Structure 1
Amino acid sequence: MSAFGWRIDLTSSKDKIARLPRVVIAGRPNVGKSTLFNRILKKRQAITDPTPGVTRDTIKQRCFLKGQEIMLMDTGGFKLERDDDFDELVSEKSLNMLQEGDLVLFMMDVNDITSEDETFIEHLRAHKEKVLIVVNKVDFPEKENEIWNLYSLGFEEIIGISATHGRNIEELYGKILSMIDFSRFDGSRESEYEPDISIAILGKPNSGKSTLVNKLTGKENAIVSPIAGTTRDVVEGRFSYKGQQFKVLDTAGIRRKKKVVENVEYYSVNRAFKAIDDADIILLLIDVNEGLTDQDKKITQQIVNKGKGVIQVLNKWDTTDGSKETWDKTKERVEFLFPILSFAPIMAVSGLKGTGVDKLLDEVQKVYRQLTKRIETSVLNESLMVWTDFTPIPSVKNRRYKIRYMTQVSSHPVKFLAFVNRFSGFPDSYKRYIMNQIRKEFGMSKIPISLELKERS
């Protein structure tokens, strides 16, 4: 186990491999890998676009093929002409996935066989027995004849499909199932690994989200690069900490709308916002060297509106002097700029070095316990009587107000409903007073709560 102590891996038992079989979709950019990934999943999980190289990180999803469960993995495109170190990272990760996969679906475009295809094929020869050549964009039966020439590549298993139109997809499923020996795998452990807590990491581009995800999971789940906007799809990782299972979602960096000009980035940002719905707790990552932006504030509004737990994470703390004075000044500035998050904890970490991460996860567990807390109606109303006796509701224009009773209608998000004798003109200040008393008395100081008033005569 690593020094951090929270990582989990699914290792082999004596008889069977204790995980689901991994089916890796690989190939050069723009041959339809993500389209096929979405077709198999029957939903739009991966971003697709005519722009080459849209998929960067490897994204994975459990799914069933004719009753058999697999782990399907979509990879970034392999390039020969690499414009920068980033292309190198994507291509290297795609090649590394050949080792991890139990079956490799190598995708080619029937209309265009390139030198990148030929070079990738040379890397595949060492894994020949687990490679299925999938020739895409065979949209018409007439295109089938062009597939026969590809048998000269030396691979026995080849099939022509149209990922866009669904042509020959059922036949592809049959090929996949015939090439996997399911008796070698025990996916029960992986299948039962449902997270206790789901975390989404949000923040502006290049604030260190992917670095933190990789530190948490102990794996290179996400590609890390100094290029802003590296992550596009939502990348999922898993780990355990102090007896609880966690799922962590690495999201695309969110920028101001006028800067979101590409279709790809538009979908990336939308998915980042959707990750808020899928998570229990949001880690709002703030680069301590760059401070806060208006876009950070817009993210927080979305989080609070949905009643999610949130922790403000000052990342790259290792680049500061780490003094109490620096901490106090930074914390004070964050609190001043984010009054809407007055309840939210503020933590300092280094995603790169791992310092502060244990304390951050401890805080995540505390926030989650508050999110899932339920208060009995009788206990709540006993406290309500004490609060209203101690601080009566002020009259407004000679109108007297009374809270008849109150109940908690939901946890996660935490919502309360109070029945009042008169709704119109009920003092907002008193509503805030009641919410503050709930936080204080029932240990809900770290989460957003809402209180709705309903008139009952």
Structure 2
Amino acid sequence: MNRPIVAIVGRPNVGKSTLFNALAGERISIVKDYPGVTRDRIYADVTWLNTQFTMIDTGGIEPDSKDLMLSHMREQAQIAIDTADVIVFLVDVRQGLVDADSKVADLLRRSGKPIVLAVNKVDNFEKLMPDVYEFYNLGIGEPFPISASGKLGFGDLLDEVVKHFKSGNTEESVDERPKIAIVGKPNVGKSSIVNKLVGENRVIVSNIAGTTRDAIDTPIRRNKKEYVLIDTAGLRRKSKIKEELERFSIIRTVTAVERADVVVLVIDATEGVTEQDAKIAGIAHERGKGIVIAVNKWDLVEKNNKTVKEFTSDIREVLSFMPYAEILFISAETGQRMHKLFEIIEVVIENQNLRISTGVLNEIMMEAVALQQPPSDKGKRLKLYYITQVSVKPPTFVIFVNNKELMHFSYTRYIENKIREAFGFAGTSLKFIIRERKENA
């Protein structure tokens, strides 16, 4: 099930980041163990009453003049409208209702998206309620008083946000066709790849019902199977500010990746693998998606018999957190190896859905433990009791142990490698959940 996306919109200094950080809590650091991957706090996963969603902070740059500020606000509102399932519109009770709020409210209202109005900096509910009521004048429904810094009023606000999810998701959850997102930096050739894959069908680009996102979904048939291509390529955001553009492209990528089963990360062969590629890859890795790295424009690279090997090792180094990713060297321009792209995507989809029987898993685990003793600390040794697979997309395993603290990341990685040796799982991450069970249980 894809997580719904909630975007926070509001003028500078109304407390967007404070609210974002307070709601995201400790889950904020994105892909913390991987060098070269962004720590920009742009998105985070939030759980409220067993409902998970992805929250996006559209904030960021603070323009100086009044005109600039309005156009910046419009830009922000547009990002939210394009990508979000629900929009949280944040205003400031101390500044009261200002002109810019009304203009943004008009834009948001016209989008037809659910909007939840949050009035921030309400530190004393009794005293400030009359000021909160003023925001009814925006005409977008009930204002919810909160204090982002004091963490007050979050319950009512989140209840309201979550209420809007149910209706929107029914349409998409029925669609069983594998979804493939083509992502990457601007100008790496995403559009050419999409056009090549779609062939002459490009004309039937229709916005499928239920996908009110900005990415264009194109159904395609390959070997009697149907797929949906999520294309983030055709969107150019005109912005003079580099950070703004980058923020927008990351938000858009998060949205596309969230909905995809397999992510094809396109890298420009003439530029090599970059830190921005690592950011995008980190998003897909963190979401547990199937991953294919397509090195495009391979026809433009001068080659000798070491070129592929050197390029591959560069990719493996920069994207060291995803050694499982499949790599393919292609040229959308000449069509070189484009036919192989679908073969690999098909393999990755199978691996994402692969289930291993509990008996076989436990044999692999016991053998691994016999080959390399589990770590110990202060005379206490880790014991692994039992392993079982609990879900797919990505394949997720629970390991029961005597002491969670002793199960170091490196030993989990060791077990993962043993499972991969037996079953491959090419192109998909594996997720491990460690549970404690008392000795006599």
| Interval containing the TM-score (normalised by the shorter chain) | 0.5 to 0.7
Task: Report which of the two structures shows the higher radius of gyration computed on alpha carbons.
Answer: 1
Contact 1:234 1:272 in 2 (8 A): no
1:151 match: none
Match of 2:257 in 1: 276
The code of the aligned residue for 2:229 comes to V
Distance 2:267 2:248 in 1: 22
User: Matches of 1:424 and 1:258 in 2, distance apart?
Assistant: 45
1:196-235 paired onto structure 2 within 5 Å? 196-219=177-200, 221=202, 233-235=214-216
Identity of aligned residues (%): 34
2:188–2:296 CA contact under 8 A, matched in 1 = yes
Instruction: Pick the aligned partner of 2:110 from 164, 167, 170.
Output: 164
Q: Which residue of 2 is the match for residue 25 of structure 1?
A: none
- Structure 1 distance, partners of 2:240, 2:111, is 33
1:211–1:424 distance in 2 versus 1, CA, 3 Å: same
Of 348, 368, 388, 1:367 maps to 348
* 1:11-33 CA-partner distances (Å, limit 9, x unpaired): xxxxxxxxxxxxxxxxxxxxxxx
Q: For residues 141-189 of structure 1, give each alpha carbon's deviation from its aligned partner in whole angstroms, at most 9, with x where no partner exists.
A: xxxxxxxxxxxxxxxxxxxxxx9398xxxxxxxxxxxxxxxxxxxxxxx
What is the CA–CA distance in structure 1 between the aligned matches of 2:305 and 2:240, rounded to whole Å?
Answer: 36
TM-score by length of 2: 0.55
Q: Is 1:413 aligned to 2:359, yes or no?
A: no
**Which blocks of at least 5 consecutive residues in structure 2 are unaligned?**
1-72, 83-108, 113-171, 204-212
Per the alignment, residue 46 of structure 1 pairs with: none
Whether the aligned pair in 2 keeps the contact of 1:254 and 1:295 (CA below 8 Å) is no
Q: Write the distance in 2 (CA, Å) between the matches of 1:305 and 1:257.
A: 30
Confirm whether residue 396 of structure 1 aligns to residue 377 of structure 2.
yes
Q: Conserved in 1, the CA contact under 8 Å of 2:383 and 2:403?
A: yes
Instruction: Give the letter aligned to residue 259 of structure 1.
Output: K
Partner of 1:104: none
Q: How does 1:407-446 map to 2 (within 5 A)?
A: 407-446=388-427
Whether the aligned pair in 2 keeps the contact of 1:280 and 1:368 (CA below 8 Å) is yes
Residue 359 of structure 2 is matched in structure 1 by 378
Deviations 1:259-313 (A, max 9, x none): 2436xx8556423211111111100000101122222111111111111011111
Cα deviation, 1:405-428, whole Å, max 9, x if unaligned, reads 011111002111101001123233
Check conservation: 1:215, 1:351, Cα contact below 8 A: yes
Give the number of equivalent residue pairs.
Answer: 265
Shift of 1:360: 1.4
* Number of the residue aligned with 1:306: 287
Shift of 1:378: 2.2
Task: Say if 2:394 and 2:428, in contact at 8 Å, map to a contact too.
Answer: no
In the alignment, is the contact (CA less than 8 A) between 2:358 and 2:388 conserved in 1?
yes
Cα distance between partner residues in 1 of 2:377 and 2:389 = 27
> Equivalent residue of 2:398, what SS?
strand
Contact 1:283 1:312 in 2 (8 A): yes
The reply on whether 1:354 has 2:335 as its aligned counterpart is yes
Shift of 1:375: 1.2
Q: Matched residues in 1 for 2:214 and 2:189: separation?
A: 16
C-alpha distance in 2 between matches for 1:453 and 1:371: 20
Deviation readout 1:173-208 (Å, 9 max, x if unpaired): xxxxxxxxxxxxxxxxxx9x9563211011000110
C-alpha spacing 1:254/1:305, structure 2 compared with 1 (3 Å): farther
**Aligned CA distance change for structure 1 residues 219 and 260 (closer, same or farther; 3 Å):** farther
Contact 2:278 2:319 in 1 (8 A): yes
